[in-house]
Structure 1
Amino acid sequence: MFLDINMPEMNGWQFLDRMQPIIKPLNFKVYLLTSSTSEQEKRKSEDYKCILQFISKPISKENILRVKEEFFTF
């Protein structure tokens, strides 16, 4: 799943907090997309076992290809 931190209605952190009780990190993988370059948010992402990577926008073609390669190794 690609998940943006800054979304209307509910941000990415709120979404993950609500999903945490029902998801299994081994079966639910998240690539966190954000326009933020905050080190604090990068560190916060490490608290979620389901987050595979913190990706800052704009996302590059190389980053998408790397995600694709990682995804198909599961």
Structure 2
Amino acid sequence: MSFSTPAGLVEGLHGQADGARERLWEWMAEPVRRLMRELISRHNLAHDLERLTRHALHLIETWLRTRPVREFQAM
């Protein structure tokens, strides 16, 4: 299965295809890490950056699995 498009990735996540989660993390890990770093700094959080990033990536994956693939066709 190809994960070269957002719709293809969401379809892969829906079917729990091999490599889908890894591709999501490849695409999203750094932007999410930057966001978590900013939140830690802005709110003086004592939480571990990598742990927050990992949890956020899991939340993104869960949310994407709840959305219909057609919502991502235009991307």
TM-score, reference length from structure 1? 0.27
Higher relative contact order (CA 8 A, sep 6+): 2
- The structure with the greater share of residues assigned to strand is 1
- Higher radius of gyration, 1 or 2: 2
